[in-house]
């Protein structure tokens, strides 16, 4: 019986290691593919005649964003674009003081001659996808620019993106996605590490996929869509059966022959979540939504007439969050393997040889963005590495839900309008309490510590450094979460187990005033 169990756990362990190695190989391949591309060739044609500029509608989906609503409306109203061809739609689903802020700023800009319209829906059905679909028939623009509430585009954004739709041979461009910048990169170690990961995604992954002619996704904000593509009956428009409506629509468009375009030299600055629980919520939604999109479109991608490598890398892209269940499975089976006398260390050599992929990807991204001081940003690699391991419980649950459910609640990532280290979010009504996954993450921290102790006791020393990564990862998530939620401990303990995983009440439902910490 023990032999059968050892074989069973060794098989699970091997599958996990091979899967993680494939993800490392994928990162290496994209980095190499980008290396062959010296520079971003997407130089837009210059349009000097104002009469040649098409009508553009800027859509701003907003839900309870009292701290940043004014900033995004003002930034879009200041876009350097002919005012008679620019319309701004504020898609406001808010049920707090944000409504009054939005109405006041819209009225102020209309008085100044800028066409700012506020769109309210009878219900919030479909969440962001529903808001975008509801407002589109009312839009005047031939092109639709989209910004989430935490963004602050530069005045020349439209002048640097719209021409890419108008050049000869660009009639089939579905959307233009720009690189996300960071308004608060230097706010904390947490925001610096998130910025490092986002830079890697945009600078290497998005450019690498584009260079290879592979599928890649619209990132939901900081980009422009051709309206004709969204309204193409074969594409199907905005749909709310996944939590990643952006990824879903972009893949459906590409499957129908429309072409994406990524511009690395144009940035759209945005705010990074400074609260760990908010970051976890964002990751949960992205993980669940991307797996829902995989489940929805995997068959269409595989049956498409694209080359085999394009189809395989498309499926790999849609399933990127499957990495986290593999990470979780790896640490879970390590303890029984060692108790059964098996040695997991040799197969770790396969994994360790390819785990250089993501660190190299991040390094290349920073080198391209800042050749002189890239290493200062890259120094936060350990933090994002620990977070990657520590979030495997959070994201594994999201993957499980994504495999079983369509749609679901779109739990917003709160924005606090923090940019300088002196800015504070801890007293905000939008701050999130600890979620119930904290218990599972604490258990996994203890489990990892026990596994390290057993590895040392039975002499599996080669496994210890790998297992310590999990200890650091779960420890980071647990202790940073506890520290940031120290003012909400009594509230969390009172509600523990009543709300369910990731269903903690939205902070926007609290009294609409800033509350002091307890």
- Residues 31-78 have pLDDT tens digits of 998 877 655 555 556 666 666 899 999 999 999 999 999 999 999 999
Which two tokens mark 113? 């001659």
β-bridge partners, 181? 269
Helices 464-484 and 381-390, axial angle in degrees (round to 10): 90
Averaged pLDDT of the chain: 89
Top-confidence range, 177-191, 416-430, 459-473: 177-191
Q: What is the largest CA-CA distance in the chain?
A: 80
Mean pLDDT within 92-119: 97
CA–CA separation, 107 and 95 (whole Å): 19
96 is catalytic: no
Per-residue pLDDT tens over the stretch 113-170: 999 999 999 999 999 999 999 999 999 999 999 999 999 999 999 999 999 999 888 9
Tell me the HSE value of 137 on the side-chain side, using a 13 A CA sphere: 3
Return left, alpha or beta for 216; rule: phi > 0 is left, psi -120 to 50 is alpha, else beta: beta
DSSP class of 272 = P
Q: State yes or no: pLDDT of 79 exceeds 90.
A: yes
Strands 223-226 and 143-146: antiparallel
Task: Give the pLDDT score at 355.
Answer: 77
Residues composing the chain: 518
Task: Give the pLDDT score at 509.
Answer: 38
CA–CA separation, 274 and 416 (whole Å): 8
CATH 3.40.50.720 matches 51-274: no
40 is catalytic: no
User: How open is the CA angle 174-177-181, to the nearest 5 degrees?
Assistant: 170
Task: Give the pLDDT score at 385.
Answer: 95
Kindly name the residue from 96, 148, 199, 246 that is annotated as catalytic: 246
Q: Which residue has the higher pLDDT, 499 or 157?
A: 157
Q: What are phi and psi of 265, to 5 degrees?
A: -85, -5
Which two tokens mark 361? 């990807």
Task: Give the pLDDT score at 517.
Answer: 33
**Domain residue ranges of the chain, discontinuous segments joined by +:** 2-35+320-509, 51-274
Kindly name the residue from 92, 93, 435, 488 that is annotated as catalytic: 93
- Report the candidate in 75, 136, 141, 62 with the shortest Cα–Cα distance to residue 102: 62
Task: Give the pLDDT score at 345.
Answer: 59
Per-residue pLDDT tens over the stretch 3-25: 778 788 888 888 888 888 889 98
């Amino acid at each position: 019986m023990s032999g059968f169990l050892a074989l069973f756990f060794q098989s699970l362990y091997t599958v996990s290691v091979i899967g993680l190695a494939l993800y490392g190989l994928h990162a290496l391949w994209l980095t190499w593919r980008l290396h062959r591309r010296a520079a971003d060739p997407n130089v837009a044609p210059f349009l000097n005649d104002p009469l040649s500029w098409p009508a553009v509608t800027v859509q701003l989906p907003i839900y309870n964003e009292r701290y940043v609503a004014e900033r995004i409306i003002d930034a879009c109203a200041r876009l350097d674009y002919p005012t008679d061809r620019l319309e701004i739609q504020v898609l406001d689903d808010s049920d707090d003081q944000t409504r009054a802020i939005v109405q006041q700023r819209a009225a102020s800009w209309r008085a100044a001659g800028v066409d700012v319209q506020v769109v309210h829906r009878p219900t919030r059905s479909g969440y962001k996808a529903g808001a975008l679909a509801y407002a589109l028939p009312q839009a005047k623009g031939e092109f639709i620019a989209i910004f989430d509430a935490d963004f602050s585009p530069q005045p020349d954004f439209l002048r640097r993106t719209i021409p890419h739709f108008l050049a000869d041979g660009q009639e089939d461009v579905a959307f233009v996605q720009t690189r996300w910048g960071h308004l608060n990169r230097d706010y904390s170690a947490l925001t610096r590490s998130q910025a490092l990961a986002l830079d890697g995604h945009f600078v290497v992954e998005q450019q690498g996929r584009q260079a290879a002619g592979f599928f890649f996704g619209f990132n939901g904000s900081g980009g422009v869509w051709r309206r004709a593509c969204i309204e193409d009956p074969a594409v199907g428009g905005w749909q709310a059966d996944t939590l990643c409506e952006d990824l879903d629509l972009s893949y459906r468009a590409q499957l129908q022959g429309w072409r994406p375009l990524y511009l690395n030299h144009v940035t759209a600055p945005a705010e990074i979540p400074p609260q760990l629980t908010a970051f976890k919520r964002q990751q949960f939604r992205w993980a669940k939504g991307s797996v829902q999109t995989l489940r929805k479109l995997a068959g269409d991608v595989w049956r498409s007439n694209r080359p085999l490598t394009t189809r395989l890398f498309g499926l790999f892209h849609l399933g990127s969050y499957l990495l986290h269940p593999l990470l979780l499975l790896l640490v879970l089976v390590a303890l029984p393997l060692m108790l059964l006398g098996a040695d997991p260390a040799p197969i770790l050599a396969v994994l360790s040889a390819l785990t250089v992929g993501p660190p190299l990807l991040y390094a290349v991204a920073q080198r391209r963005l800042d050749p002189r001081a890239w290493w200062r940003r890259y120094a936060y690699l350990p933090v994002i590495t620990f977070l990657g391991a520590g979030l495997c419980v959070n994201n594994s649950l999201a993957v499980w839900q994504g495999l079983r459910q369509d749609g679901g609640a779109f739990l917003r990532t709160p924005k606090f309008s923090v940019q300088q280290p002196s800015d504070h979010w801890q007293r905000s009504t939008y701050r999130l309490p600890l979620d119930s996954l904290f218990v599972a993450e604490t258990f996994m921290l203890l489990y990892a510590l026990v596994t390290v102790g057993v590895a040392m006791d039975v002499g599996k020393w080669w496994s210890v450094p790998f297992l310590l990564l999990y200890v650091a990862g779960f420890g980071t998530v647990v202790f940073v979460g506890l520290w940031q939620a120290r003012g909400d401990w009594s509230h969390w303990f009172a509600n523990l187990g009543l709300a369910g995983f990731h269903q903690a009440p939205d902070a926007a439902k609290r009294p609409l005033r800033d509350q002091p910490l307890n």
